[in-house]
Chains A and B, each alone.
Chain A
Amino acid sequence: MSTAILSRQAAPKSPAARAVREFFSNKLAVIGVFIVVALVVFSFIGPLIYQTEQVSTNLMQADLKPGEDGHPLGTDGLGYDVLGRLMIAGRTSILVGLAAGVLATTLGTLWGSVAGYLGGWVDATMMRIVDAGIAIPGIFLLLVISAIVRPSEWMMVLIIGAVSWLVPARLTRAEALSLKSRDYVLAIKATGGSNSRAILRHIIPNTIGTVVVNATFQVADAILLIAYVSFLGMGLQPPATDWGAMLTDGISSVYSGAWWLIFPAGIAIVLIVSAFNFIGDGLRDMFDVRGQS
């Protein structure tokens, strides 16, 4: 009650400006933006400046320690320069993660808003499919699919998108359910407007907060999933690589004494996933979206 009064009295700025300021007042979110920008520059512009051989192996140069022979982070068991490899692996992780996250969110938003708005049997059927999808742990499904088809990068995007759209679908449906009883949506229905108008012009634009926040979390989760798939030995075929695959390659080195090899890729994953989560958290404050973590 008292806060409502306050916000009414002290609102000289537009909500957009206030929202942006809200976002930047979240210190973690600002750190997140900074990390994402830094890692994108590192992965996409880095290889132009720091050029290394990342296709054919060079066993003569294998297992160099950091700093040896002009390799700042050393080389791995196949002789690839670790720093250079970190860059091209990052390219894959970031691109696949972004694409899969966006794909999952788009699919989920459409599915959820149609189910929520139409309601009744259509909703029940569509949501039971989502429930069934959620009941099968994504990583199990990923492994089964990877056992059937050996994934390329785009295949990976499709597969991760296919197991990740369920949560956004559920969230958007909940949102659509509450939006459809708003007066401006009722008015469309009552005065003879079409379902597609209600969904496309009114429901989806008003779920934008939920969608954007969730997309950010989806990208973070997708990058983690790629790492898990690689760890379980079902990832991309060498010489293509991603941070998860690099980290996995490093595991055997831990037991052979080259413990540092797990850190470049491991830290990179933690950084980028944390950064997207921080940004999502900031966006949630900004859009004032409740009930998502």
Chain B
Amino acid sequence: MTTTTTATRDSSGLRLFSWFLAKRLVQAAVVIAIVSVIVFLLLQALPGGPARGILGQQATAAQIAAFNHEQGFDLPLVQQYFNYVGQWLQGDLGRSFVMNTEVSSVIIQRLPKTLILALAAVGGALLVSIPLGMAQALRRNKAFDYVMTGLNFIVYSTPSFFLGLLLIMFFTQLLGWLPASAPQGDTVAEILSQPKEMVLPVLTSGLAGVATFSRYMRSSTIDNLHEDYVRTARAKGTPMNKVISRHVLRNSLTPVVTMLGYYLPVMFGGALVVEQLFNYPGMGLLFWNAAQTSDFPVLLGCVLVISVATVIGSLLADITQFILDPRARGGVK
């Protein structure tokens, strides 16, 4: 082992990375395939099939049969499934029952807006929660830590629409500082030109993020503070504040990155509620409106797109972690 040269170690690191990447990509593909099966099965589970949804409760059996034949809904299930997959692969998510447009074009218009909201919320939350979590860990079981832990749990335990309402009552109704309605408009540029309107939606979804992330950062920092390398650093005379900034910070961040991958579905779920509350024209609102009108192609299209986005997101998180953590990168023992 000692005789292995550095050159072979480096190349073995690269090999390990490509193996990891290949494995992860195959996994992601399998997961997306399973998601497509779930979405397809949900479509089948609709009462009376999609025909009832479109033609309404008054439709006759003959009308339904004709519709099913026209749409290919009378084919064997497996064949129907592959027909769907074929369409999905071409970017065809079907037509909305209600809006008379392609589902894919609506989603393409809405998705970026949700992403802007989510990125602003997550970015802001990270900026607050990383120092907050570390500060709590360093003052573990002191008054500051107890108070912040209690607050974090309370914010985490507050339904986001209740939190949003409280913020509206305070900032809009009481102080009159901020509008209660989110920015409107078709394009991303229009949304970005209304920063004041963005504040409350971002704050509402961001606060829940702060509660989650700072808990992770706190426990990750506490774990790292107990590691032997901290003692080694102190034993060479490094002052505690430098031990934190040079050694503990980076190692504590790694699990937070992994957690971000898992947080994506939570974030999309949160967007659904926040967009509904503030009337923000993103994917969440689209989905909610579709649920009100039983617009199943839109509902399932959204689920499909969001799941794929989540799978890709957690893939990126895993790759980032692989790069951040030198142990994962190369030359295992």
Contacts and interface: CB of A to CB of B under 8 A. Distances in A.
Whether the complex brings A and B within 8 Å at their CB atoms is answered yes
Contacts of B215: 293
Interface in B143-191: 146, 149-150, 153-154, 156-159, 161-162, 165-166, 168-169, 173
Interface stretch (A11-19, A73-81, A229-237): A229-237
Contacts of A129: 34
B212 A293 contact: yes
Interface stretch (A62-70, A206-214, A262-270): A262-270
A232 to B, nearest CB: 6
A145 B265 CA distance: 17
Contact of B262 (A134, A143, A148, A290): A134
A228 interface: yes
Q: What bracket does the count of chain B residues touching chain A fall in?
A: 35 or more
Interface stretch (B80-88, B103-111, B199-207, B291-299): B291-299
Nearest to A230: B159
Contacts of B311: 131, 135
**Overall SS of chain A's interface:** helix
B266 interface: yes
A277 interface: yes
A262 B165 contact: yes
A121 B279 CA distance: 46
A281 B146 CA distance: 12
Given A136-B35, A148-B46, A228-B273, A251 B165 contact: yes
Given A27-B146, A28-B150, A148-B47, A141 B272 contact: no
Interface in A240-293: 244, 247-248, 251, 254, 259, 262, 266, 269-270, 273-274, 277-278, 281, 290-291, 293
Contact of A139 (B31, B46, B47, B273): B273
A128 interface: yes
A224 interface: yes
B299 A147 contact: yes
A281 B302 contact: no
Given A135-B35, A137-B265, A138-B265, A270 B307 contact: no
B65 interface: no
B253 to A, nearest CB: 15
Interface string A12-46: 00000000000000011000000000000000000
A61 to B, nearest CB: 25
B159 A227 contact: yes
A224 B159 contact: yes
Interface in B276-333: 276, 287-288, 291-292, 294, 296, 299-300, 302-303, 306-308, 310-311, 314
B153 A28 contact: yes
B273 to A, nearest CB: 6
B300 A144 contact: yes
A220 interface: yes
A147 B45 CA distance: 11
A137 B268 contact: yes
A131 B27 contact: yes
B131 interface: no
Given A27-B146, A144-B303, A136 B38 contact: yes
Contacts of B173: 259
Interface string B229-250: 0000000000000000000000
A132 interface: yes
Contacts of A131: 27, 31, 34, 311
Given A140-B302, A148-B45, A231-B159, A128 B30 contact: yes
B112 interface: no
A132 B159 contact: no
Given A128-B27, A274-B157, A290-B223, A135 B299 contact: no
A266 B212 contact: no
Nearest to A259: B169
A140 B165 contact: no
A131 B32 CA distance: 9
A254 B164 CA distance: 12
B216 interface: yes
Interface in B35-66: 35, 38, 42, 45-47
Given A132-B35, A132-B307, A290-B223, A228 B149 contact: no
A28 B159 contact: no
Nearest to B156: A277
A145 B45 CA distance: 9
Contacts of A234: 291
Interface string A115-159: 000000000000011011111111111011111110000000000
A143 B159 contact: no
A144 B262 CA distance: 22
Contacts of B219: 290-291, 293
Given A27-B146, A137-B310, A143-B299, A132 B31 contact: yes
A269 B154 CA distance: 10
Contacts of A147: 291, 294, 296, 299
A293 B308 CA distance: 26
B162 A266 contact: yes
13 contacts: A135-B35, A136-B310, A137-B269, A139-B273, A143-B291, A146-B291, A148-B47, A251-B161, A254-B168, A262-B162, A266-B158, A270-B154, A293-B215
Given A128-B27, A144-B42, A293-B219, 5 more contacts: A144-B300, A259-B173, A266-B162, A266-B165, A274-B153
